[in-house]
C-alpha cells in the first residue's frame, strides 16, 4: 500500500510518540503485519472493546489493564486474530507484551496488544518475535512511520485509514491522530475493527475512558458493514501529555471531546466506505422519534436489511423495502406521519408513495458514492444517524474465499 493512498495534507504526529510497521510473514502476501506504537514517557491509555461474548485473548488482556496510567506501548499483529485459541492464546498475548518490553526497554505490564485476522489459529511466535524486534528498530515520529503503522494493522482493507486534528487548549496546541482498520465483520458494539487514537494532550485515566466511551457510542457504534460483531474489536485512546504542562481543565474537556469525535467519525466513515465489495455508503438519518434509542433502532434496522442494501447496490429507489424495515424495527409510529427521502427526493409520505421520476432518482444513486436516506416521523424530537454500505456480489466472493 503506497503513501499516496492517503493525503499527507493536514496529518501530523502528536508529540511524545514513536511508531512503526513492518512485515514478518504472518500474511502470505508479504504485506506489513506488525505495528508498534510507543510513548517516550509513561502515558495514559483507555479502551473500548467488543461486546461479543466470544472475544480474543488480546481483548481479555487489554480489558484487564485499562484504563492505565503507566502505558508505554501497544503492539498489533494482523493476519491472525488470536481468537478462540484457548489458554495458549493468552500465553501468546502475554509473550507479545514481554517481547515488546525487551525490544523497547520497558516493562511488560506497560504494554497492550491487539490482533486481527483469521480466527482459530495459533500465532507463529517466531515470526511475531522477529516482527516486534524489527518494528522496535524502525520506530520513527514522521508521517512515513505513521503510514507504516497504519498499514501494519490492515487485513482485507483496500486503503489505510489515518485522520488528524489540532485544537488549542489553554493556549497550547494539541494534536489528535487516529489510525484504524476495518472493512468486513463490522457491526455496532463495535465494529472487526481496531483503532488507536493518539494525542499529546494530558488526560487522567478516568477522563480518557469516559470521553472515549461517549465518542465511540456516536461513531464506531453507529456504523455497520455486515452486522457481524467481531471477536477482536478494540479502540484505544492514548494520551502522552507531551503538549501540556497540566491536565486538561474541565472547561476544555468538551472542546477536546468534540475534536476527538471528529477524528473518530471520519475514521468510522472511512471503514464503511472501505466495506468489503461496497459501491455505496448509506447515510441513514432518522428524525422525529420519541427517543434517541427508538431513532437508532429504526436506523439500524434499515441499515441491516439485506433487501435495502442490495437495492442501494442496484441503484433501485425501492421505498417499500426501507419503509417496511422501519415498520418491523420495533418502535411504534403512525405510518401516515412518515416521510421518506432518498438523495433529497421524496418517495413516500402520508402513508403512501408519491409520484417521482424513478430514472432520475436511480441515476442520482448511480452517480453518488454516498446515498442519503432520510426518514422522518412525528412521534417526538429525537433523532439518530447511522452509516453502513451496500451489499454486493463482491462481498460474497471475498468472504466465501477468505479462509480457503
For residue 65, give the C-alpha cell.
Answer: 489493564
DSSP at 220: G
Beta strand segments in 106-183, E: 111-118, 161-169, 172-181
CA torsion through residues 57, 63, 64, 67, sign: positive
Residue listed under C-alpha cell 467519525:
265
CA pair distance 249, 235, nearest whole angstrom: 24
Beta strand segments in 125-193, E: 161-169, 172-181
Instruction: Give the CA-trace dihedral at 115, 395, 375, 222, to 10 degrees.
Output: 0
For residue 120, give the C-alpha cell.
Answer: 482459530
Residue of 85, 192, 207, 392 with catalytic role:
192
Within 10 angstroms of residue 331's Cβ, the number of other Cβ atoms is: 19
Q: If you compute the radius of gyration of the chain from its CA atoms, what whole number of angstroms results? A: 22
Q: Which helix or strand (DSSP H or E) is residue 342 part of? A: strand 339-342
Annotation says 66 is catalytic: no
Three-state DSSP class for residue 375: strand
Contact in structure between 276 and 397 (CB atoms under 8 Å): no
Q: Name the residues annotated as catalytic.
A: 192
Amino acid at each position: 500500500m503506497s503513501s499516496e493512498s492517503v493525503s499527507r495534507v493536514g496529518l501530523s504526529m502528536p508529540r511524545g510518540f514513536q511508531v512503526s510497521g513492518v512485515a514478518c510473514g504472518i500474511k502470505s502476501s508479504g504485506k506489513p503485519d506488525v505495528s508498534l506504537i510507543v510513548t517516550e514517557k509513561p502515558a495514559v491509555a483507555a479502551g473500548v472493546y467488543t461486546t461479543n461474548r466470544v472475544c480474543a485473548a488480546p481483548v481479555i488482556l487489554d480489558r484487564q489493564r485499562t484504563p492505565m496510567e503507566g502505558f508505554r506501548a501497544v503492539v498489533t499483529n494482523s493476519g491472525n486474530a488470536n481468537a478462540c485459541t484457548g489458554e495458549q492464546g493468552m500465553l501468546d498475548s502475554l509473550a507479545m507484551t514481554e517481547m515488546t518490553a525487551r525490544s523497547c526497554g520497558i516493562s511488560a505490564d506497560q504494554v497492550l496488544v491487539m490482533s486481527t485476522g483469521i480466527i482459530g489459529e495459533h500465532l507463529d511466535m517466531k515470526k511475531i518475535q522477529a516482527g516486534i524486534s524489527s518494528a522496535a528498530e524502525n520506530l520513527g515520529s514522521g508521517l512515513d512511520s505513521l503510514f507504516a503503522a497504519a498499514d501494519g494493522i490492515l487485513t482485507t482493507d483496500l486503503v489505510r485509514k489515518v485522520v488528524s486534528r489540532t485544537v488549542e487548549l489553554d493556549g497550547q496546541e494539541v494534536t489528535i491522530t487516529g489510525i484504524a482498520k476495518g472493512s468486513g465483520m463490522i457491526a455496532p458494539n463495535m465494529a472487526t475493527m481496531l483503532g488507536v487514537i493518539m494525542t499529546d494532550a494530558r488526560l487522567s485515566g478516568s477522563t480518557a475512558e469516559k470521553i472515549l466511551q461517549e465518542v465511540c457510542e456516536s461513531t464506531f457504534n453507529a456504523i455497520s458493514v455486515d452486522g457481524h460483531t467481531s471477536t477482536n474489536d478494540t479502540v484505544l485512546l492514548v494520551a502522552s501529555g507531551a503538549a501540556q504542562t497540566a491536565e486538561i481543565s474541565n472547561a476544555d474537556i468538551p472542546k477536546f471531546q468534540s475534536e476527538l469525535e471528529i477524528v473518530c467519525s471520519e475514521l468510522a466513515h472511512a471503514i464503511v466506505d472501505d466495506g468489503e465489495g461496497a459501491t455505496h455508503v448509506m447515510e441513514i438519518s432518522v428524525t422525529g422519534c420519541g427517543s434517541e434509542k427508538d431513532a437508532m433502532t429504526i436506523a439500524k434496522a434499515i441499515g441491516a436489511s439485506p433487501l435495502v442494501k442490495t437495492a442501494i447496490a442496484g441503484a433501485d429507489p425501492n421505498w417499500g423495502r426501507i419503509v417496511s424495515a422501519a415498520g418491523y424495527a420495533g418502535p411504534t409510529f403512525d405510518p401516515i406521519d412518515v416521510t421518506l427521502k432518498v438523495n433529497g427526493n421524496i418517495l413516500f409520505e402520508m402513508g403512501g408513495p408519491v409520484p417521482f421520476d424513478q430514472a432520475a432518482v436511480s441515476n442520482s444513486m448511480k452517480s453518488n458514492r454516498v446515498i442519503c436516506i432520510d426518514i422522518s416521523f412525528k412521534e417526538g424530537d429525537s433523532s439518530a444517524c447511522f452509516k453502513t454500505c451496500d451489499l454486493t456480489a463482491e462481498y460474497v466472493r471475498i468472504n466465501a474465499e477468505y479462509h480457503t
